Amino acid sequence: MEASEGRQGDDYTVASADIEAFHKNGFVHLKGVLSEAEVVSLEEEYMKFIRREIPVEGRDFCDMSSDYTKPLEEYSIINIMLPSRYNSSLRSNIYERCAASIAQQLCGPEMVFDYDQLLAKPPSRTDGVFSWHQDLAYWPVTKDTRTASFWLAIDNSSMENGCLRFVPGSHLEKELRHHGPLHGDRDKSHTLAATLGDTDIEMPVEICRGDVTVHHERTLHGSGGNFSSNSWRRAWVLAFRSKSAVEEERRIGFTHSHNDSLQVLNQVGIENVA
């Protein structure tokens, strides 16, 4: 790695080969974006949400592997939407600042923070499978859909504990894949699911604590269950999107909260799926 690449203060300079990989494959793995001390600091805030020390409203605390009726103690994919809404001190943290610099390099100018999300698979949750999907299937389709979706590993993420998997090149397809509600009704579960084709090649991406993956809004991705008996698989998601897309979302009342009205969720999650 050249001296000019990697982390410098609040910025992370992306290598030209990694920029090329993002555009070719629809995702990229960036190593060492955060230091151990920085991850520890974020981890402390993360666990306050897991322990329910910070109140989260309604369906913004849910299980993404099942329907809304599953008891909390049985959650397999703990999903916490918009943590910085519920704890405003998290805004503009070091992770967000580094991600902002990366987003500009990967996607161009006028990329702004859209939303954040915590996703945690407790140990031995073999059913903690996050269905294959494209992020854009969940969102309004705006004129400028540019997105850099960041996935920060709070724990080492492996095949055993349910790391992310991608279908390289799927972002280049002209149309989105067909998505349907995982449990048949979006009033029962927020989760959408797509099906892989015979020619799709899935690529698991194991990453270390403090690393990130960044993916395109049209890249097919998902993850397997946690087969580890003692390892969590915790991730902190940030999405940077074009300024115009975020402005349009807010104009129609779409905030990425699972408490958004079902009318809005159905409009953007079902009718806009090609």
Count of alpha carbons within 13 Å of 98, Cβ hemisphere only?
26
Q: Is residue 222 part of a domain?
A: yes
Q: Is residue 55 part of a domain?
A: yes
User: Is the pLDDT confidence value at 214 over 80?
Assistant: yes
Pair of tokens at residue 209:
């604590």
CB 76 within 8 A of CB 125: yes
Pair of tokens at residue 140:
């309004």
CB 236 within 8 A of CB 46: yes
Comparing 186 with 11, which gets the higher pLDDT?
A: 11
Q: Is residue 115 part of a domain?
A: yes
What's the pLDDT at 4? Answer: 64
Distance between CA atoms of 271 and 274, rounded to whole angstroms? 8
CB 122 within 8 A of CB 234: no
Report the DSSP pairing between strands 130-133 and 221-223: antiparallel
Q: Is residue 1 part of a domain?
A: no
Comparing 79 with 5, which gets the higher pLDDT?
A: 79
Q: Which range marks the domain in which residue 63 is found? A: 6-271
Q: Is residue 145 part of a domain?
A: yes
CB 231 within 8 A of CB 124: no
* Burial group, residue 53, by CB count within 10 angstroms (0-12, 13-18, 19+): exposed
- Measured between its terminal Cα atoms, the distance across the chain in Å is 41
Give one DSSP letter per residue of 103-150, joined into a string: HHHHH-SSEEEEEEEEEEE-TT-TT--EEEE-GGGGS---S---EEEE
What's the pLDDT at 185? Answer: 76
Q: Is residue 75 part of a domain?
A: yes
Q: Is residue 78 part of a domain?
A: yes
The CATH number given to whatever domain includes residue 158 is 2.60.120.620
What's the pLDDT at 261? Answer: 62
Q: Please enumerate in sequence order all residues whose Cβ is within 8 A of that of 105, keeping only pairs 6 or more positions apart, or say none.
A: 13, 14, 19
State the pTM of this model.
Answer: 0.93
Pair of tokens at residue 1:
């790695």
Distance between CA atoms of 10 and 12, rounded to whole angstroms? 7
DSSP 8-class letter at 25: H
Distance between CA atoms of 42 and 116, rounded to whole angstroms? 13
Q: Is residue 38 part of a domain?
A: yes
Question: What domain count does the chain have?
Answer: 1
The crossing angle, in degrees rounded to 10, of helices 94-107 and 16-25 is 70
Q: Which of 178-182, 221-225, 261-265 has the lowest mean pLDDT?
A: 261-265
User: Is the pLDDT confidence value at 237 over 80?
Assistant: yes
User: Is the pLDDT confidence value at 81 over 50?
Assistant: yes
Q: Please enumerate in sequence order all residues whose Cβ is within 8 A of that of 120, keeping only pairs 6 or more positions apart, or say none.
A: 46, 50, 77, 78, 80, 232, 233, 234, 235
User: Is the pLDDT confidence value at 182 over 90?
Assistant: no
Task: Report the DSSP beta bridge partners of residue 8.
Answer: 11
